[in-house]
A and B are shown apart, each in its own frame.
Chain A
Amino acid sequence: MTAVTPAPTAAASRTPSPGNKKTPRHTARESSRGYWIYLLPGAVGFLAIVAIPFGMNVYYSLTSWRGVGAPKFVGLDNYVRLVADPAFWASFLHSIAFILAMAIIPTALGVLLAAVLFDYIAPKFGSRVASILRATFYLPQILPIVVAGVLWKWLYQPQYGIINTTLDDIGLGFLQQNWLGDSDTAMLAVMNVLIWLQIGYTVVVFMAGLSRVDPALYEAAEIDGAGWFQRFWSITIPQLRPEIAVVLITTSVAALKVFAPIYVLTKGGPGTSTIVPAYFSYSNFFTTTQVGYGAAVATLLALLVTIIAIVLLRFQTRNAEGFEK
């Protein structure tokens, strides 16, 4: 699979080393220069859609602005205010819950399910059964997040939603909750939706990873008398390490940016019990129109995500080099 998309380092390794610069090959150099024009559309787009807007956002974060009239420069006031704002801290604290729900729990369950399907169900019941089960686990992944949100909002509905009506039917009516409307359960209810959404992704990725592993490894372990759990710990987990790392980091980044499920399910509420940075900045921009304040939140979120993304890029590059060897 790595052969399908070699990492950029593979491209870098083919280029002449700096030492070659002293003996210029004119044709190669000239042609290289002529390629810049092909980068132009992408570069202009990047400037107009990413670089300039981000710069403007940073500027807004240093102003007090209600979206109309001229922004008033206030320096770092917004950031100072943020540090003292419990909603801000709550939003970033909730990000940890979403990393749990979107990255850590789905990865743990995904590895386990993939291993069971690949190394237990497939050999015993045939790969057909395993791939049907895999497809079933994957199904929620095909939904637009908003659709998943609407669907679950209906399931959680306090009066006629299936969860509460079923609890009532089986005599557990006292367990009924206003799942999304109660600050004690709202976060868990949202997390449940995200776990449901994410498991399919991790199962599919990890099963693909396992199909890359040499079956001889498992067979040798089996001959040596290793039980299923021993194989899981000593073969599956180490062999899947690259996939696990990449999935954990990418889904964590996605968790930091989560917006749509919150918008649809809870709007950050009740109170601030499910607020996240993305929704917090959105509501400052468009609900309370404190543009400068929202921009400060967005800038901090961007910094955090970028730092993690750089770690990810570093990791991938190192990983790809490992494969080259």
Chain B
Amino acid sequence: MTATAPTTTPKRRQRPTQTSRSAKNRRGVSGWTILIVLAGSALLMVFPFWLALINAFKPSAEYIADGPIGVPTELDFTAIIDFWVGVNFNQKLLNSIILSGSVALIAAALSLLSAFAIGIGRIKGRVWILAVFMLAFTIPQEALVYPLFVLSRELNLYDTLTGVTIILAVLQSAFGTYMLASVLGSFPTEVLEAARLDGASRFQILRMIVFPLTRPTLAVLVTFFFIWTWNDFFLPLVLLPSAANQTVSVSLGALSGQYTSDPTALAAASMAGILPALIFFLLFQRTLMRGVNIGAIK
């Protein structure tokens, strides 16, 4: 499709970084207007973050007197500390890290095994199997939650991180299987043939050839599973009722009902929730952006 487009001279391809003078000439009034409008809307998008930041560290008296917009005249950690200690936020962070970490690893391992059977093994009916796996990912969790609630109580897994780990790992591996199976489906057959001729068993092929070569994709999956689990709310809300087992999201969700008398309390709670998300984003930025793009095309 794109091949029909006429190729142009390299001169037109030059980007403004090189042709600064002509680019500047083309900017014009309308160019600056549009830039200002865009920058203004971008600022509006991040304004809630800014408000949370300044008000989380503002003395409540100052908030009551001057409102939310002003920058605090003194740093006050009362609201943050009250929140942190009040909900035992260290515990929630630890729970979230344990849950997200184990879900991510188990889900990636499950995905790799299933995708190995589907993409490399080319087992019969794999298209249908993949379709069924995708149902696991798209089905609303409301249609599973009550039975899972009943079953986990019977198996003594209710209100345990173990129970939620198993459930979320299986649900997320459905997506991982779908993604990995298509990656493995185009795995170079010559490599596999050569390994088989050398007498490699299926497990050896998985461990020594497929696993090392798919490690970049697995890294994307692990990152995504970690973030998804961190952000997940519904099943942890239902299956982890006791304060000692709650995750960050669940504890914040539980807070939103109460706590409205002190104006800086919710800002502090938001800030506590924003911080880990921001850290993960900065750490995993590239992987996430790549994943968003892969996910959209897939």
Contact = CB atoms under 8 A, between A and B. Distances in A.
A199 interface: yes
Say whether chain A's binding surface is mostly helix, strand, loop, or mixed: helix
A294 B147 CA distance: 12
B92 to A, nearest CB: 12
B221 to A, nearest CB: 11
A8 B34 contact: no
A137 B141 CA distance: 29
A150 B110 contact: no
B135 A35 contact: no
Given A39-B129, A146-B273, A260 B253 contact: yes
A149 B296 CA distance: 25
A53 B234 contact: no
A278 B140 contact: yes
A8 B182 contact: yes
Given A60-B147, A204-B289, A295-B146, A147 B249 contact: yes
Nearest to B284: A142
B144 A49 contact: yes
Nearest to A133: B42
A154 B108 CA distance: 37
B26 interface: yes
Interface string A255-282: 0110110011101000000000110011
Contact of A39 (B51, B123, B127, B206): B123
A324 B18 CA distance: 37
A223 B12 CA distance: 10
Interface in A41-62: 41-43, 45-46, 48-50, 52-54, 56-57, 60
Interface in B191-242: 196, 202, 206, 230-231, 233-234, 237-238
B121 A243 contact: no
A219 B13 contact: yes
Interface residues of B, number: 121
B51 A162 contact: yes
A154 B267 contact: yes
Nearest to B178: A8
Contacts of B16: 123-126
B15 A204 contact: no
A278 B142 contact: yes
A150 B171 contact: no
Contacts of A243: 296-297
A213 interface: yes
A10 to B, nearest CB: 6
B29 interface: no
Interface in B256-298: 256-257, 260, 263, 266-267, 269-270, 273-274, 277-278, 280-281, 289, 292-294, 296-298
A19 B253 CA distance: 58
Contacts of B127: 8, 12
B86 interface: no
A155 B55 CA distance: 11
A8 B185 contact: yes
A142 B280 contact: yes
A139 interface: yes
Closest 7 CB pairs of A and B: A35-B121, A11-B185, A147-B273, A53-B147, A42-B114, A45-B170, A154-B266
Given A35-B122, A42-B114, 18 more contacts: A1-B293, A10-B182, A11-B181, A37-B117, A46-B132, A123-B15, A125-B23, A126-B23, A136-B42, A143-B274, A147-B252, A150-B255, A151-B274, A154-B266, A157-B263, A216-B5, A263-B253, A278-B142
30 contacts: A5-B297, A8-B185, A11-B119, A32-B123, A34-B202, A35-B121, A38-B116, A39-B129, A49-B171, A50-B135, A117-B38, A121-B35, A123-B15, A124-B31, A139-B46, A142-B281, A147-B252, A150-B266, A162-B68, A162-B69, A208-B292, A208-B293, A220-B6, A222-B12, A263-B237, A263-B253, A282-B234, A285-B145, A305-B140, A309-B135
